[in-house]
Amino acid sequence: MANKKPPRPQDAALDDEALLDALALLPAEAARDPKRDRIAGQRLNLTRLRYFVAVAEDLHFGRAAQRLGISQPPLSLHIKALEEEIGVDLFTRVNRKVFLTASGRILHQQAARLLDHVQRVDHIMQGVGAGEYGELFVGCVPSAMYDILPKIMRHFRGLHPKVHLVLKEGHTMDITDEVVEGRLDIGLVWRNVSDPSLGIQPILREQFSAIVPADHRLAKKKTLSLRDLASESLILPPRKVSPYHYDHIIAAFAKQGLNPRIEYEVPTILSQIGFVASGFGVAISPSVARRFATDGVAVIPFAEEMPPVILSLVWNKERDSNAGEQFREAVKGLYRSDS
């Protein structure tokens, strides 16, 4: 009597972990088991899994081959190679009919899920490449966090809902440094200077205004001049934090032969407003300060013409992405009249 082939233990049952090992999706795990050394390091061909799923669905090699657009002999060879790779019989043949083994049924379930997941991943990655999926790291100066950035985000989310924006608040110099170093994709900062490593897109121009205490002698004026402020204690941002603002203001005073009295260096517009409301001096800030003004201060424009300050998008030209380009295009459409 011929020796009966003993059943393979894998045919009895395969849990998910064993199946994943057999599929060589976790080669390091498989390598720990000497019995599976032949599997370690191998990666199953997704094409073979697709061929297997087609046969498992049709239970007919000829029809599956026709649906796949290949001839039957290569299909049979691929299925045989797959069985050898994972060490189990996937099909049994009785009276020229094809049936799935217990292992084949489990592999069919798992392989179908895997192939569906691969298809979804492929779709997502195509979307990432087109700028329709993924994350975009955006840095923003505090003065634009209140309403400018939320307005941009709402507009961008309507156009590209699958791109998640990760936000960071910071000062112009810090945000710019992180964009240059690649830690941020986009910066929303006060600057419009030439930098060979940066792309710069101006989006909003703001005039300077004076911020004075509500009970100050100048608070009732419709406009002010820099000469009105020459004897006042000034509150300005530190140059190391906002060199763009600082240099603009100092240059405007110097142009009129004035030497400003800088009493306090305060980094943000909100904190400057707080200092002014408490009577520590007067501040000079972009007109965006009106959005944050309290009852304790008055924001007054200047009578003389001063160079505007420009809120710009900055990005690293060597680290640009499609999502970043989509963001800039959305902002350009939103602020077309201002840019």
Q: Which CATH number fits the domain that encloses residue 79?
A: 1.10.10.10
The CATH number assigned to the domain holding 190 equals: 3.40.190.10
Residues 322 and 174 grouped into a single domain: yes
Q: Do residues 211 and 292 lie in contact, with contact meaning Cβ atoms separated by under 8 Å?
A: no
Tell me: do 79 and 169 sit in the same domain.
no
- Encode pLDDT of 61-80 as tens digits: 988 888 888 998 988 898 99
Q: Cα–Cα distance between 236 and 264 in angstroms, integer?
A: 7
Judgement on whether residues 186 and 274 belong to the same structural domain of the protein? no
Same domain, yes or no: 256 and 291: yes
Confirm whether 1 is domain-assigned.
no
Tell whether 4 is covered by a domain: no
pLDDT band per the 50, 70, 90 thresholds, residue 94: confident
Spell 261-293 as b/e; 16+ CB within 10 A means b.
eeebbbebbeebbbbbbeebbbbbbbbbbeebb
Does residue 175 form part of some domain? yes
Q: Which three-class secondary structure state does DSSP give residue 67?
A: helix
Q: Indicate if 261 and 295 belong to the same structural domain.
A: yes
Pair (15, 113) in one structural domain = yes
Residues 41 and 100 in one domain: yes
Same domain, 69 and 104: yes
The 10s digit of each residue's pLDDT in 117-161 is: 877 777 666 666 555 667 899 999 998 998 899 999 999 999 999
Question: Are residues 260 and 174 part of one domain?
Answer: no
When divided into structural domains, the chain yields a total of 3
Residues 118 and 29 in one domain: yes
pLDDT at residue 299, rounded to an integer:
95
Q: Establish if 269 belongs to a structural domain.
A: yes
DSSP per-residue letters across 197-263? TEEEEEEEEE-EEEEEETTSTTTT-S-B-GGGGTTSEEEE--TTT-HHHHHHHHHHHHHTT---EEE
Per-residue pLDDT tens digits for 191-244? 866 678 899 999 999 899 999 999 999 999 999 999 999 999 999 999 988 888
Q: Which domain covers residue 156, as residue numbers?
A: 134-199+315-334
Q: Is 103 among the domain residues? A: yes
pLDDT digits (tens, 9 = 90+) for 289-318: 888 888 899 999 999 888 888 999 999 999
Over 80: is that where the pLDDT of 173 sits? yes
pLDDT for residue 36 is more than 70: no
Q: Which two three-digit tokens encode residue 59?
A: 């239970």
Q: Report yes or no on 27 lying in a domain.
A: yes
Spatial distance between the Cα atoms of 145 and 83, rounded to a whole number of angstroms: 59
Domain co-membership, 323 together with 185: yes
pLDDT of residue 245: 87
* Residue 160 forms part of a structural domain: yes
Least Cα distance to 312 among 136, 177, 148 occurs for 148
339 lies in a domain? no
Task: Record the pTM.
Answer: 0.62
The overall average pLDDT reported for the chain is 82
Report the DSSP beta bridge partners of residue 298: 212
Residue 35 pLDDT greater than 70, yes or no: no
Residues 300, 213, single domain; the answer is yes
Whole-number pLDDT of residue 127: 61
Quote the percentage of the chain above a pLDDT of 90: 42
